[in-house]
Chain A
């Protein structure tokens, strides 16, 4: 067992961060960005779920927190300059539930 003093972020904290990141990802008005960030958020947090090294988990958590700030701002800018819906959004329903903020 590792005897490192680094404490891993709690499960609760990770889940809260996951929910907030997913919310920001879904707030993008552009179809392609929204789909990308929702998928990527899921992958990143799935990776955190299976990570057992607390030091690495801490870094991943810190990175994800910083990224949440970026996504929040980006989603707002993206909404400000959002365009009309794409044909593919109408014809092929997205896999993602795309509620707007």
Chain B
């Protein structure tokens, strides 16, 4: 399989198209906009002084090197806070959204474990949220994984019905990394206000800097932020932890008590400055970026729909336009992936790139297995150009049409060797008006 950017622990699960297409010579796997974004050159420029001349420890209070680093860190903190409408003192720097999600979910649950042992999340969360919850369930906590509606949005009624007297935390992501679905965080926050003592955490890694967020307007108590999803460096992220009213959690790391005691360890000044600068630029450019991304996204969807039939868009159409997830019916998923590998599609339809299981997010949306398997996720970002969109569109149209014209092999049985001998002209049957789903394939298998 084509390699996945292994430096990203939050590698999302669906196929993704890069903002950077493959170079003609070197076979380099390029980043994708949901998996990761390139570091904005302006961000790198802000970071470089702290990697060269200004190497002070921001926690050293006794000399000028330390003061300079400290003031740079505090400026960065302010930029991050401004982007989400928070107070700078509420921002805690971490190594990324995976750490923040772990810290928030495990921290809240363990701090309140004497009285409260129930946590609510959704089935479409990122792996690091689901896995933190799985760990907690091993420790004896009850976890409710809420189903989502067909458009990927969680229903407020379903959420409200899941609340118990011993619920300590609700964790719902703002923007989904595979489908771009935006959850109604404001309504969820409003509803949860009625219940005292339930904290609301949101994984906003895919949302911060891309859509406007306000932690006070949305009544969010904890938020996860990732640096490399908003054109900042990898290895840095932030947690928003509300101080008024105070959110108490058990820290994962013990040590020197930096970052309000929630995250001990010396801050990486350069990375923090990079995240701050990325946040400042994101705020400044959000309107322009959003308008451009919407335009490119509409162009992509319209061009594909105009030239290929039977394309299904996964997830709410009012989601984040920079993440478009399309399924191509009557195309075999692996063939599609292999045929498109030269335009830097990342591999595997699952986080674990080696497994060929269809995406659990798409399955939670009710997508059939074959549709989840033949899904492609298009990530459009700040640095995507129209020429790239056109290039990818023409490539995909050619590939899908070619694959449909071929006599496709239907993998109905899990064992491939037995089914390979039964080629099935699926596409011709569809065109003859036969409903594929109505056929009892098991009769024709060996």
B387 within 8 A of A: yes
Shortest A45–chain B CB gap in Å is 14
How would residues 25 to 49 of chain A score, 1 for a CB under 8 Å from any chain B CB and 0 otherwise?
Answer: 0001001110111001001000000
Q: Is the CB of B24 within 8 A of A86?
A: yes
Q: Are B45 and A43 in contact (CB under 8 A)?
A: no
**24 sampled A-B residue pairs with Cβ under 8 A:** A31-B385, A32-B388, A35-B385, A36-B383, A40-B288, A43-B288, A73-B45, A74-B44, A75-B41, A77-B44, A78-B41, A84-B24, A84-B26, A85-B24, A85-B25, A86-B21, A86-B23, A87-B21, A87-B22, A87-B24, A87-B391, A88-B385, A88-B391, A91-B391
Instruction: Tell yes or no: A52 within 8 A of B by CB.
Output: no
By the criterion CB–CB under 8 Å, are B383 and A87 in contact?
Answer: no
Judge if B276 is at the interface, Cβ distance under 8 Å.
Answer: no
Residue of A nearest to B38 (CB): A32
Minimum Cβ distance to chain A for residue B278 (Å) = 14
**Chain A nearest Cβ from B54, distance in angstroms:** 16
Residues of the B chain whose Cβ atoms lie less than 8 Å from the Cβ of A87: 21-24, 342-343, 391
Give the CA-CA distance A36 to B41 in the complex, in Å: 11
Partner of B24, one of A40, A90, A92: A90
Name the one of A28, A70, A85 contacting B45, with C-beta atoms under 8 angstroms: A70
CA A31 – CA B19 in complex, angstroms? 11
A interface, over-half SS? helix
Q: Mark A50-94, 1 if CB is under 8 A from B, else 0.
A: 000000000000000001001101110110000111111011101
Chain A residues with Cβ below 8 Å from B21 are 86-88
How many A residues, CB 8 Å from partner?
28
A: residues with CB less than 8 A from B are: 28, 31-33, 35-37, 40, 43, 67, 70-71, 73-75, 77-78, 83-88, 90-92, 94-95
B1-38 CB contact bits vs A (8 Å, 1 = yes)? 00000000000000000011111111010000000001
Whole-angstrom CA separation of A13 from B385 in the bound complex: 30
Contacts of B386 in A (CB 8 A): 95
Chain A contacts for B370, CB-based, 8 A:
none
Q: How far is the CB of B165 from chain A (nearest CB, A)?
A: 52
Across the A-B interface, the 10 shortest Cβ-Cβ residue pairs: A74-B41, A32-B383, A84-B23, A92-B387, A88-B21, A88-B391, A84-B25, A86-B21, A35-B385, A70-B45
Q: Are A88 and B388 in contact (CB under 8 A)?
A: yes
Residues of A contacting B19 in the complex (Cβ-Cβ under 8 angstroms): 32
Contact of B41 among A77, A84, A90, A95 (CB under 8 A): A77
